[in-house]
């Protein structure tokens, strides 16, 4: 599994994911995988249609075996949530009841606060075909719903679990713009290195008669330096660039393609000879 570090401790805490009468084992497996991706571990199944355990669920879980092995089956939703202090119901539809409605961001923040206070929480997900019934929703404290495209609002159950798991993970981060790994650390080049690149490039071009007509040279150098400095090269990148210039400067094509002389910035052909060196 790309990017997985199996020496890192598995995170598995936070709200229980409760699937109400799930139909397909494959979906239960995808749910388990999504939970594992974002550090949730507790899966509860209310009366799964095709029974439990399920080989299809295990296969689809892509090695999230700790979630599959820990899953607990209940006969009724009431039993499945009996020990919980606070429960969200996920739904894409306005319900004819008086529950508060939260976004995933708000719900994750609420779940995180309650988790920190030692409360046990859960999130209910409905049947693949028909979602949660009103009597299921009635057992929850609040509703959570997703900011979907109104013309295409039906989320797959594993996708819905993924989004809540992802927001749960983010709710525990000090900075949601943080990334698990960063750009390789490189110091910007010093000005001495940058000027070295300028001069190397300019010398290579000058020796080919690039800066023509002569009275435009100062302006052309300014423009070239603007292009080269805008990018913000690192020291390492300056080395790469100087290697490129050296190669272009010192060697000719072994197998010249085309016979046109190179064009300079002004689109005028160079009259420098391009003889093969080696």
Q: Please give the residues from 65 up to 84 whose contact with a second copy meets the rule CB under 8 A.
A: none
Task: Give the nearer residue to a second copy in terms of CB position, either 99 or 200.
Answer: 99
Q: Counting contacts by CB under 8 A, is residue 102 touching a second copy? A: yes
**Stretch of 16-24, 94-102, 116-124, 203-211 lying at the interface with a second copy (CB under 8 A):** 94-102
Task: Give yes or no for residue 230 binding a second copy (CB under 8 A).
Answer: no
Q: Which lies closer to a second copy via its Cβ, residue 73 or residue 102?
A: 102
Reference 107, options 145, 159, 50, 135; nearest CA is: 145
> Under a CB-based contact definition with an 8 Å cutoff, are residues 39 and 12 in contact?
yes
Per CB under 8 A, 6 contacts a second copy:
yes
How many Å apart are CA 21 and CA 162, to the nearest integer?
18
d(CA 9, CA 171): 19
**CB burial class (10 A; 0-12, 13-18, 19+) of residue 255?**
exposed
Is residue 122 close enough to count as binding a second copy by CB under 8 A?
no
Q: Torsions phi, psi of 261, nearest 5?
A: -70, 150
Show contacts with a second copy in window 188-227 (CB under 8 A): none
Residues 151-180 binding a second copy (CB under 8 A) are 151-156, 158-159, 162-163, 166, 169-170, 173, 176-180
Using rule CB under 8 A, residue 85 touches a second copy = no
Note whether 114 binds a second copy by CB under 8 A. Answer: no
Closer to a second copy at the Cβ: 62 or 264? Answer: 62
Where in 7-36 is the site for a second copy (CB under 8 A)? 7-11, 30, 33-34, 36
Q: CA-CA distances (angstroms) from residue 208 to 128, 212, 271?
A: 70, 10, 8
Q: Quote the DSSP letter at residue 215.
A: G
The answer to whether 216 and 266 have CB atoms below 8 angstroms apart is: yes
Using the rule CB under 8 A, give the single segment among 61-69, 73-81, 196-204, 253-261 that binds a second copy: 61-69
Cα 89 to chain center, whole Å? 26
- Binding footprint of a second copy, residue count (CB under 8 A): 71
């Amino acid at each position: 599994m790309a990017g997985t570090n199996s020496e890192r401790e598995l995170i598995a805490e936070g709200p229980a994911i409760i699937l109400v009468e799930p139909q397909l084992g494959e979906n239960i497996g995808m749910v388990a995988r999504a939970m594992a991706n974002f550090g949730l571990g507790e899966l509860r199944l209310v009366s799964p249609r095709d029974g439990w355990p399920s080989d299809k669920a295990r296969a689809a879980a892509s090695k999230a075996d700790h979630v599959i092995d820990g899953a607990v089956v209940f006969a009724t939703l009431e039993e499945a949530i009996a020990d919980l202090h606070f429960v969200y119901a996920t739904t894409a539809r306005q319900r004819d009841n008086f529950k508060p409605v939260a976004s995933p961001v708000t719900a994750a923040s609420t779940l995180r606060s309650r988790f920190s206070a030692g409360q046990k929480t859960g999130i209910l997900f409905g049947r693949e075909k028909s979602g949660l019934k009103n009597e299921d929703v009635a057992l929850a404290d609040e509703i959570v719903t997703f900011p979907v495209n109104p013309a295409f609002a039906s989320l797959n159950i594993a996708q819905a679990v993924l989004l809540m798991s992802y927001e749960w993970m983010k709710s525990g981060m000090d900075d949601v713009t943080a990334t698990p790994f960063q750009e390789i650390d490189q110091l910007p080049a010093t000005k001495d290195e940058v000027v070295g690149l300028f001069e190397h490039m300019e010398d290579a071009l000058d020796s080919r008669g690039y800066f023509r007509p002569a009275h435009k040279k100062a302006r052309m150098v300014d423009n070239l330096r603007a292009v080269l400095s805008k990018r913000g090269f690192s020291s390492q990148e300056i080395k790469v660039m100087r290697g490129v210039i050296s190669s272009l400067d010192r060697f000719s094509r072994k197998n010249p393609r085309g016979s046109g002389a190179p064009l300079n910035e002004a689109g005028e052909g160079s009259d420098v000879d391009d003889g093969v060196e080696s």
